[in-house]
Every structure is written in structure tokens, then in C-alpha cells.
Chain A
Amino acid sequence: MKKLALAAVVLGGLSLTSCNKCRECHYDAPDGTFIDIGELCGEELRNAEKDGYSLGDTLTVEIHCEDH
């Protein structure tokens, strides 16, 4: 019974462990082509999805990070 409880705790702990999410992202150029911007991870990815990805000081673009 103790072994089972221990196994349950370990499994539960593992299932709650979160990974640092990374994605290959791109944005759509005006001519319809995809422009790769490389891999974004964690908070950087979250912020880019939320507020847009900054290209220079003034231009912000919407990014897509799904697998193609």
C-alpha cells in the first residue's frame, strides 16, 4: 500500500510539472509569404502572442507559431 501511495505521489508530481514551451514562429508578409522569426520560448512567446512581435521600434506584427 505504501509503495502504491508513493508511486501515486511521484506520478502526480510528474504530471503537474510544466515544461518551458518553445515554438518556431513566423509572420505573414504583405505578399502572402511566411517570414520565419525563429524559436520563441516561455514568456517571450506568451508576450509575442499577446501583444504582437516587434520588428524594430515601431512595427509590430501578429505571429503564428503552429507546425507546418
Chain B
Amino acid sequence: MVFATLFQKWYICRAIAIMLRGFWTMVFVLLSQLVIGQTYSGYVYNAEKEGEGIPRAKVYFVDLGKTIITDENGRWEIQDVPSGVNHVEVSYIGFETIHKDIELVEGVEVVIKLEVAHRNLDKVIVSNDGYLHRESITNIESHSISSLTRIPGTTVGQALTNIPGVYNTSIGVGVSKPVIRGLSGSSVVTYVNGLRIQNQQWGSDHGMPITSVGIGNVEVIKGPASLLFGADALGGVLYFVDEPYVEKNTISGFVSSRFESNSLGSVNRAGIKYSKGNLRFNAYGGFDSFADYQIPNGMKVLNSRFYEASGKFSLGYSKKNWVFDLRYNFYKGRTGLPGHTHDSIPDFDSFLTTNQNRRENVPAIVTHNNFVSIENKFFFNNHELFVTLGNTNNNLKEHEEKYFFPDYNMNLNNTLYNVKFRSRWGRRWESTIGAQGMYQMNRNGDAPFTLIPDANYMDNGVFGLIRYRTDLWSVLGGVRFDQRVIDAGDFIENAKYNGFNYSLGFARVSDKTSIRVNASSGFRAPNTSELLSDGVHHGSQRYEIGNVNIGTESAVQIDASFGLHFDDLEIILNPFYNRISDYIYIERTDSIIEGYQVFEYTQTDLAQLYGVDFGFHYHPHFAHWIHIESSLSNVFAEDGNKNPLPLIPQTRINSNISFNFEPATKFKTIEFVLQHKYFFEQNRLGVFEEETGDFHLLDMGINTELDLKNPIMLSLGVRNFMNVEYADHLSALRYLDILNPGRNFYFSIRYQFSKQLKSQ
């Protein structure tokens, strides 16, 4: 008995000792990862010339935020980063940028091969190589802002319409809201670097709350994406990614300015990037100012003027297994709302003027945004932990009659968290679990009117997804549960809305073909505007009434893409079908209150949105200096009784021909771009909607770079070259007979520099 007791005690002590030893071993292993500076290296080669290294190629470690430049032999070397699999973006002028997972093992050289640009054409419609692709198998469009602005749009919202399936609703030039496959407003979620941005986006006059300042890339998920982005991601997601930090021990900067003739507008940017040791920062500022725009007959649209000031600051710090980023965005904008009248029977001529003015006027929307986020990433051998905390504050004032005193004053404060844990299980399996949430407060400030009451939102969601891949196949599936609680005092007390969502898909990608099929769901709980509106919304020129009986809407989309990839030709076909249950929309009624047409939020059992994106890219071998691209985007939308839904974009064909030269002169490169857009007639109309005729738009531009130590980029071009009179189907001004802008010449100049710092 005594022996048994002693043995038991000895056994317990021994077990504890083993556990302690295991614990200390684990601590030692983790600490050793933190303190031992291992070096990893590799080469970037030209895929067409065996063994030829590419000097000055850029290897960007996406999750670590670190950029390495290859030496004269194409060799790169990196220290103080975690071993194991890392995601890199590798680029060099004249070569196709690639995204790739590489495994860092000390003593093993990693070889990365870049295809010469004319070989790889895979970006017409689908480019599943962006920042989000690791957690989504659906079709993701990834574009650099520079590629979307080869012929620059006035605003970032207009630049996005170069992406197939993406459109924008507008009020003049200053208000632009993205539409993805026919859905917009609260159904489209905007992220900037993992931080969800909110700006009362239910309002048709509340435009995109960001400018292109400091933005490097934008990725678009078309269709429901609640698995990764939670409530509201029913129509799609816009995910903006900041420009990366500059490579280690470097300082670089730029100054740029663009002038537009149509609205005497200027877009001005400046930025500086600095990196030394483990510390780095980017800082940017921008100021855009536009006077009233001009329609083709030379008249100006009164009060379509706007200005935007924005700033951005990012601070990064990294140790071997830890990456920290602090990001701050500031935005202030004042946007005039054209089409304003005091008359019960409007005189359309009063909306136009012969004078072009940029002086602050009313009615106008004045917006202040402050976004701040703190990102922490922790890396272990086969695991990564991401923790993002953030706060966004959007103050929106609508001035109807008075310059100093707003009629509406709303402040939307949003505090968010986003935690994600990613693990790799061998070479083929990868899993991610996470939690996301936010606490949102809407408060009405000092103003005589309120459109929506003070309210609090609480969102919480948990998700998990798993991915399996071979060299040819990839399968991904995941599930998510969300709950939104809305508390609006006497109006709604702690109403709960739950959502259960999933995504399941596969991809088969070979050299010549690619097939992707994905089913994903999304849900959107109603917002307080849809539930509780009761007042004149001057920006939309209507009286809006909410409905407290509106419930959650949910959607399921099946999306497929089929691609053929040859050396000089790529063809992509991307059909989709999005089925929305309990679809929420705003409907015009025959009532008038306070002189305004009454619109009521309502819900229908079923809505279906379906269509196709089709595109090709031809780059003939006999003339490598020519690129021909064309894409067709179309969407049909109808309710359960086959009645068309309102505000659905026109079918569009967007074609580009570009000619690229590298003359042996002071001009390093010359690119000539010709762009033609054809908008089909829209005759599938909602209630009280009017038909929109077809129209052609022709744009052209020249982009060149002067071959100097610090390069200067010049661009010159014209939009709407034929001075076509048109009003887009999604323009809110077309009912007032106000046309879109006429011919618009532009000129831009950009100076940039880069300097190596002494290493520590």
C-alpha cells in the first residue's frame, strides 16, 4: 500500500517534470525563433532564359510588409523573418508580377521565375493572385491603382468602373458610389487594409469615403462574401490595400499633379516613404479641387463643384516573428449637390449656368473621416496570428439652405476587432479560424432635422475555413455564424439578427486552362435607415420612410469561371447567379410629404441577379508592342414575379488597345492607350423608371517616362473625346435632364526619387 502510494507520488512528480520539460522546451524553441537571426535567400530568374537572374527585381513579403531588391545576379537575401511558408509578390518592369507561397528554409535557395510580360495574359477578368486569394476561391479581381488609371478617372470611384462587373451610381462628378453586379449602398462592404469603413453608405448621396492617396491595390469580390467579411457583404467587397513600405535602408518620395480641363480640376499628391532597420513609415497628402463640370453644349452644371483633402500615415515595425503596423487615414470633403431648386415645378435650365465656379455653396455634403487601425501579426513555424483593432469615425453634415448650419449632422463611430489564426497542416492543408466584430454608434449632432435616430449596433461573428490543394486542384470550404444587435432606444430595443453563412468551391488551374466554381452565401441585417427613416433626405431629394418589420435578407451566389490561356491569347467566361431572399429595396410611392416624393423601404420574397462577365486579351507575337483587351459585363435583375428591379446598370463593353514603345531617346517608355466603351440600352425598368439609350464613349491617352536619375512621368489625354451627350442609367441627375461631363482633356506630371540610406 505504502509502495503503491509512493509509486503514485513518484509517477505524478515524474509526469509534472515531463510536462514542465516540454513546456520549457517549447518556450525555448519559441524564444530561439525570436533571438537567432537566420538568413534565407534565393534567386529571381527570367523564366525564358535558363539561369539568367533578374537584377533589381522586387520581392515583397506581403504579410511581413518587407520588400527586398535582388542584386545584379538576381539574388535576394532576407534576415530576421520566420521560417516556413511566406507569401510573396515578385515584380520587375517588363515581367508579369506574380504572387506565390515560398517556403523559407535556412541553407535552401528559393528559386522564383518571372514570365516576360507578353507571355502571361491572366488578368482580363479573373486574377486570383491578390492578397485575399488565400482565403477565398471565388473570383477575385486584383488591380493596381496605376493599372486602373492609365486613362485616369476623376475620382477613385470612376477608376473602379474599369473593372468588369463594377459600375458606379453618381450625382454629378463628386458623388460616386460603387455598384458590384447590380448591388450597391449597404450591400457593398469597403475595407482598407483589414479595417472596415462605414460612412452611412445607405444614402445615395454619401459617396465613397476615400481617395486614391497612398492606395496601391484594390481587390474586388463580386457577390456574397459573408464568410470572410460578415454581415452586409451581400453584393460584394472592395478591399483597398495601401502601397507597400519602401525596401530596407531607403528613402523615396514623389510629388504629382493632374489638371482636368472640363471642370478646371486639379488632383495633387505628395508622399514620402522611409525605411531603416526594423522601422519604416509612409506618409501621404492629397488635395483635389474641382469647379462645376461642363456638359457637351458648354453649359456648366451649377453646384457640381467639390473638393477633397486627405492624408495617410503608416508606421511599421517588425521583429523576426512579429510585425506591427499603425495606420491612420484622414479625409475632409465638401461636395456640392447639383439639381437643387426651390420650385415645385423645376425649371431644368436653372440647374445650369454659364459661369464655372468652385466657391463653396449649398446644398452640400461635408464629410470628415478619421480611420485608425493597429495591426499585429505573429508568425510561428506553421501558424500565423493576426490581430487588428481599429476605430473609424465618420461625421457627415448635409447643408441644405445654410452655409454655416447643417440641416443634418450625423456622427458614426465604429470600433472594430478582427482576429484570425491560420495554420498549415503539411503541404496540402491549410485552415483559418477567426472572429470579427464591431460596436457602432450613430449619434445626431446639433442640427434641426434627423433622418435616422441615435442607435447602437453590436456585431459579432466567428468563422472557420479549410483549404486543400494539390499542384492542379484547390478546394476550399468554410462556415460562419454572425449576430447583429440593434438598439435604438424607444424605437428598437435590442433587436437581434442572426446569420449563418458558408462558402464552398474548387479550382483547377493548369497552364492552358482554368476552371473555378464557387457557391457562397451572404446576409445583411437591415440598417436603421431602412428600419426607422422618417424625414426629408435632401441629398436624395425625397422623403424616406423606413419599416420596422423589415427582416434580414440573405443571398446565395453560384459563380463559375472558365479560362483558356494561350501564349498570345486569353479568353475568360464568368457567369454568375445570385439569389436573394427577402430582398430589401426602396420603392417610390404616389404620396408627397412636405413637397417631396415619398419613398418607402420594403422587402420582397425573392430577387434574382444573374449575368456574365466575358473578356479576352490578345497580344500578337508578331507585334509585341500591341495589347488588345475587351470585356463585356452584364447583369439582369428581377423579382420573384420576373419584374425587373430598378437601378440596374446597362450592359457594357469596355475595349482597350494599347501600343507600347521603348524608344532609344530621353523617353524611356511611351504608351498610347485607346479606350472605347459601349453602353447598351437599358429597357428593363423598375417602377417609375425611365429608359436609357445606348451610347459610345471614346477616351485616349499617352503615358511616358523621362529617362532621368529621378524619373518624371508625364501623361496627356482626353476623355469623352467625341463630346457625346449622355446620361448614365445610374446617374441620379438624368431625371433632371442633367447630362454627364463632355470632352475632358487632362495632363499630369509626377516626379519621384529614391535614395539609399547608410545601413546601420
Q: Which residues of A contact B (CB under 8 A)?
A: 1, 4, 8, 11, 15, 21, 23, 28, 45-46, 49-50, 62, 64-68
Contacts and interface: CB of A to CB of B under 8 A. Distances in A.
Given A8-B285, A66-B362, A67-B353, 19 more contacts: A1-B251, A4-B253, A4-B272, A15-B287, A21-B360, A21-B403, A23-B403, A28-B342, A49-B402, A49-B404, A50-B404, A65-B362, A65-B402, A65-B403, A66-B340, A67-B302, A67-B357, A67-B359, A68-B350
Contacts of A49: 402-405
B442 interface: no
Interface of B: 251, 253, 272, 285, 287, 302-303, 309, 340, 342, 350, 353, 357, 359-363, 401-405
A15 B309 contact: yes
Contacts of B353: 67
A46 to B, nearest CB: 5
B309 to A, nearest CB: 7
Nearest to B357: A67
Contacts of B360: 21
Given A11-B285, A65-B362, A68-B350, A45 B303 contact: no
Nearest to A40: B403
B751 to A, nearest CB: 13
Contacts of A46: 404
6 contacts: A15-B287, A21-B403, A64-B342, A64-B401, A66-B363, A67-B357
A68 B343 CA distance: 13
Q: Which 5 pairs of residues, A with B, have the shortest CB-CB distance?
A: A49-B402, A66-B362, A46-B404, A67-B361, A49-B404
Contacts, number: 41
Nearest to A21: B403
B422 to A, nearest CB: 39
Contact of B404 (A1, A45, A62): A45
B172 to A, nearest CB: 14
B518 to A, nearest CB: 46
B401 A50 contact: no
B404 A66 contact: no
Nearest to B274: A1
A23 B401 CA distance: 12
Nearest to A1: B251
A48 to B, nearest CB: 9
Contacts of B403: 21, 23, 45, 49, 65
B1 to A, nearest CB: 81
A66 B405 contact: no
Contacts of B350: 68
B541 to A, nearest CB: 15
B354 to A, nearest CB: 12
Contacts of A11: 285
A3 to B, nearest CB: 11
A52 B569 CA distance: 69
A11 B302 CA distance: 30
A1 B283 CA distance: 13
A21 to B, nearest CB: 7
Contacts of A66: 303, 340, 361-363, 401
A62 to B, nearest CB: 8
B467 to A, nearest CB: 45
A48 B302 CA distance: 24
A1 B287 CA distance: 22
Contacts of A23: 403
